[in-house]
Structure 1
């Protein structure tokens, strides 16, 4: 199980203003093979003895954008220790926007791409490892470059070229020009003008269909393992609290596929994905409604690059992306696509924390590596492509939460990144059914007794020390504006939002019952907010409460409130637990889970507020469960 990421305040928290060092397409100087999928011509120039051979493939194209990949071969007689590719775009409106496995510069139409440390060495006769690729933009047309040079050598026979056989007319979609506000706006009713032309690949599951909101009219899957865990806990506690805890077993929670073994079973996992799907079929046999199973796809290479308590099993440097694609995603897709499960609905929560880290945490080396290698972007795109091809699977992309991306410097850059990732998939924006926020976090859905721009003592509420000038003080206002920004960026107006309400209730005897009467801003905010964390950046094992019960269509534009983090499972250990019986997979330790830690810039140098004696992430934490049930809002009867 994973803990959630730390928030970012106006000062220390949002340090990185989305300076993604777009990754590079390393190339060579020689003959050009121009391979264009589906809509495009394959052009193969002949060549004599040469320095290199390059295959430039347009993998996808949509209105105003396109994706490419490269295959680069050293056809010379000597080894390369590094390489630099240069070429010129034929049209003035063509631009590299996001590049992986390299570094690039662009001046006008001229592009220069250099290798990274891990893919610069190319033996004679070999191809570049970790081949580059990029997402780009265009205005009036997208012709293919016709001449390439490597290390200053013009590729022999590289003249000629190719152009798409069908170039769409570019009608740019509108993008927000004003700063997002925290006031919900009405849901747009118009259909976006940008409709990706490529169609999904793969064979969809027959019989399941695809509805607009998979949670509507469906019954949530009850994980038998979690139900048994909750009931055992309730029995051990007994009394009034035990009776309340037993009621938690009646609500659906997500299945976390946080490793390859979580998919296949074994290695400490009680059940496999197939076991869960079979159990869902058993539940469906006695239900008059479709069953929706929510899974969390969570195993990217160098996962959770800015945290220490939930790092994953795959590494970028150890063939991580290929392992992720073929030993993890392909296995999930194979299980889900079995025809016997076509009557189920499957909601896939795609890689919590991944893309948000590329917006705010590039000052951390692991995140910089994830960005420059392209593994987060490519891994997410691969997952979206494979799962979208299954008709009864619904993809929801993680968008962090208001306390992470709510500042203006983070908000729009994330929208741009997520939109670029989606448009780079086979089905474009149609590969996503919606977005989810607050995954495994504690931010309230609504702060009922104040608004972000409300004036107290001549200052807006959001300027208080707790909020650090964040535009958003709760999840609903953040999600409404995120949704509108995505629609403006080209997503359909039917796109839906989810909020994880498993631990954001903040009830109990300390919950405020109305606004403070104080005219001092910080006093007013601290006495009025239902979010009782010491600092909004605190994310590990907080003494919160279970929130709204899972429900479909809770508000306009929202598909559902869901429980993604099963209440009672730890975010991370409160001290280092060595590998052994209590930590069989060797999970790390993050000081933000230590109740004695005084904090750092990431939580405004405040105490962590974490509960003591916590086990490793994902393990059952009885004291936390007792607290969550005691502080539930609405309360359990």
Structure 2
């Protein structure tokens, strides 16, 4: 039978409902592709725009700080109130501890700090301080068991990852490496630090591990302790002089010497309480100290910048008349700020 001309063949019509479904599916697919591309572009932009801490870095002044809480308290004489108010206004690292910010609350704390950083157009600086056998039974004894520590740092990492639009500075476990040989647990601590680094690293998150200070371990010895942790390739560098009082110039020299030993690693230096330098070998609430240069005052090719890491006005421990470690000490705040008010 001869074939009908093309113009007279019967054409099958696709039902309207099917066309609508196909159009919806196509639209959803396009939107999904746009979303994926958009997320990739955003991530790439955030990665390319991420810059490590440097001179003029400004970190958040947390309203959760003990200085801020003291400034809001009704008790205290005029001088103590003035010292607390001044310190509350200073950009300072916030310390996350499991005692104050347990695993079921720490995400909210970090999220609130991140919101403050956005409001203040500042970087977020936190010290993570919850390592198992944290202070080897000394003034800041405590910390979590290994499984709880892993869960706690994972929650911190999740919260930091949710704040990819701001710069995050993490001081990871002050004293943990410098104390490791004394505590007799270098390999255990290395494992805890490795877990923590894996949990918290991310876009625009700059991690600094413990590097002691210039009057603690000789350079070669400290370099060996740091190297033995195995985490150095995954962090920005080391934190020096945390909660101590050493001169800034001595810490710069120490940072450069460690960098030479460790293949060019970077550093930050705590200058929160070194304005009058050290008091000999006394590290626990020495008298006559002063706040030091504010965050972001200086840096070079090795030292990214200086930071206020230990909050001035908080005790080092029950020594030289001080209360328990981390407790607000009004008379110390007055003494540290005597030249600022």
TM-score interval, smaller chain:
0.7 to 0.9
CA offsets 1:199-239 (integer angstroms, 9 cap, x no match) = xxxx9x93642634234564311110225235347994426
Structure 2's unaligned 5+ residue stretches are: 1-39
2:212 equivalent to 1:400 = yes
2:154 equivalent to 1:323 = no
Query: What is the rounded CA distance, in whole Å, between the counterparts of 1:299 and 1:235 in structure 2?
Result: 31
Distance change in 2, residues 1:498/1:504 (3 Å) = same
Query: What is the rounded CA distance, in whole Å, between the counterparts of 1:553 and 1:505 in structure 2?
Result: 14
Query: What is the rounded CA distance, in whole Å, between the counterparts of 1:262 and 1:622 in structure 2?
Result: 23
Matches within 5 A, 1:22-101: none
What displacement does 1:245 show?
Answer: 5.1
Query: What is the rounded CA distance, in whole Å, between the counterparts of 2:73 and 2:303 in structure 1?
Result: 32
| Contact 1:215–1:560 (CA under 8 A) maintained in structure 2 | yes
Distance change in 2, residues 1:304/1:481 (3 Å) = same
Matches within 5 A, 1:362-373: 367-368=183-184, 370-371=185-186
Cross-structure match for 2:61: 222
CA offsets 1:12-61 (integer angstroms, 9 cap, x no match) = xxxxxxxxxxxxxxxxxxxxxxxxxxxxxxxxxxxxxxxxxxxxxxxxxx
| Contact 1:572–1:615 (CA under 8 A) maintained in structure 2 | yes
| Partner residue of 2:123 out of 282, 292, 297 | 292
Query: What is the rounded CA distance, in whole Å, between the counterparts of 1:238 and 1:258 in structure 2?
Result: 31
| Partner residue of 1:627 out of 328, 335, 338 | 335
Matches within 5 A, 1:309-388: 309-314=139-144, 320-325=145-150, 327-338=151-162, 341-359=163-181, 361=182, 367-368=183-184, 370-371=185-186, 374-388=187-201
Query: What is the rounded CA distance, in whole Å, between the counterparts of 1:209 and 1:336 in structure 2?
Result: 15
2:93 equivalent to 1:281 = no
Query: What is the rounded CA distance, in whole Å, between the counterparts of 1:567 and 1:309 in structure 2?
Result: 17
Query: What is the rounded CA distance, in whole Å, between the counterparts of 2:156 and 2:164 in structure 1?
Result: 14
Distance change in 2, residues 1:222/1:502 (3 Å) = same
Structure 1's unaligned 5+ residue stretches are: 1-202, 267-271, 315-319, 362-366, 447-473, 488-492, 507-529, 574-592, 594-609
What displacement does 1:554 show?
Answer: 3.1
Query: What is the rounded CA distance, in whole Å, between the counterparts of 2:159 and 2:113 in structure 1?
Result: 14
Cross-structure match for 2:268: 498
What displacement does 1:384 show?
Answer: 1.6
| Contact 1:295–1:348 (CA under 8 A) maintained in structure 2 | yes
Query: What is the rounded CA distance, in whole Å, between the counterparts of 2:113 and 2:131 in structure 1?
Result: 27
What displacement does 1:436 show?
Answer: 0.9
Moved over 6 A (4+): none
What displacement does 1:555 show?
Answer: 3.8
| Contact 1:208–1:391 (CA under 8 A) maintained in structure 2 | yes
Query: What is the rounded CA distance, in whole Å, between the counterparts of 1:250 and 1:308 in structure 2?
Result: 31
| Contact 1:220–1:251 (CA under 8 A) maintained in structure 2 | no
Q: What secondary structure does 2:203 align onto?
A: coil
Query: What is the rounded CA distance, in whole Å, between the counterparts of 2:326 and 2:200 in structure 1?
Result: 25
Figure out how many residues of one structure are paired with residues of the other and give that number.
Answer: 297
Q: What secondary structure does 2:311 align onto?
A: coil
Distance change in 2, residues 1:293/1:435 (3 Å) = same
CA offsets 1:106-131 (integer angstroms, 9 cap, x no match) = xxxxxxxxxxxxxxxxxxxxxxxxxx
What displacement does 1:276 show?
Answer: 4.2
CA offsets 1:313-364 (integer angstroms, 9 cap, x no match) = 43xxxxx222221x211111122122xx1111111111111221234x2xxx
Matches within 5 A, 1:180-259: 206=43, 208-209=46-47, 211-215=50-54, 218-226=57-65, 228-229=68-69, 231-232=71-72, 236-238=76-78, 243=82, 246-259=85-98
What displacement does 1:304 show?
Answer: 1.4
2:332 equivalent to 1:617 = no
**Higher relative helix content:** 2
Cross-structure match for 1:559: 304
Distance change in 2, residues 1:208/1:235 (3 Å) = farther
What displacement does 1:475 show?
Answer: 2.0
Cross-structure match for 2:10: none
**Higher relative strand content:** 1
Distance change in 2, residues 1:403/1:279 (3 Å) = closer
Distance change in 2, residues 1:308/1:616 (3 Å) = same
Query: What is the rounded CA distance, in whole Å, between the counterparts of 1:476 and 1:313 in structure 2?
Result: 30
Query: What is the rounded CA distance, in whole Å, between the counterparts of 1:445 and 1:553 in structure 2?
Result: 10
Cross-structure match for 2:259: 483
What displacement does 1:432 show?
Answer: 1.2
Distance change in 2, residues 1:405/1:624 (3 Å) = same
What displacement does 1:393 show?
Answer: 1.2
CA offsets 1:534-571 (integer angstroms, 9 cap, x no match) = x41x2111121111111154344211111111111111
Distance change in 2, residues 1:276/1:354 (3 Å) = closer
Cross-structure match for 1:155: none
What displacement does 1:242 show?
Answer: 5.4
| Contact 1:245–1:629 (CA under 8 A) maintained in structure 2 | no
